[in-house]
Amino acid sequence: MGTEKIRSLFNDLLQAVKHIHNLHIAHMDIKVENCLLTRNGILKLTDFDHAKDFIPGVMMSGSVYATEAYAAPETFNKLYKPACADIWACGIFLVFLLKNNVPWEVADGIRDTSYRKWFLMENKIHFFRFPKSRDGVSAFLLKMLEIDADERATADEILVHRWLQYPKRQRKESE
């Protein structure tokens, strides 16, 4: 899939996430299988079975039933901020779009050696090794896959990031 199509689909996902987060709802199971495409190629987020109401900035406790490959590491400790967990899942979703695979089976250094390798890397930007045509995507991705949930980007911050905005700027400059 081309980079521009990936940007478009990912933008659709982030717009949906921004919308539900503004309503103080976290999806809690964002993954490729929970998205549909319209006839016009617009991505729609579906399956809100695990969605949770949340208070911004407040930690929640309890079990999370998200798909493990997309679940944020803090959710395994059963103390997490739901909106931050959704953003982590968006990052894994983007890796899937770019590589047609998730980077690990579970974000747990004991249970998954790929995650442990990434977690221990000093310069995580080199872990994913995207083609040259996807310059800048690794830094963009790391804003969502920040280990510290309090430092993780929000949907609003991601939507204005240079990597996601690049095609719009390019069109404006060429007009």
Residues catalogued as catalytic = 29
SS3 category, 85: helix
Angle at 132 between CA 114 and CA 1, to 5 degrees: 75
Contact 92, 103 (CB under 8 A): yes
Residue of 57, 74, 56 lying closest to 148 (CA atoms): 74
Distance CA 129, CA 95 (A): 11
SS3 category, 156: helix
Structure tokens at 155: 């949907």
Structure tokens at 39: 């006839």
Contact 87, 154 (CB under 8 A): yes
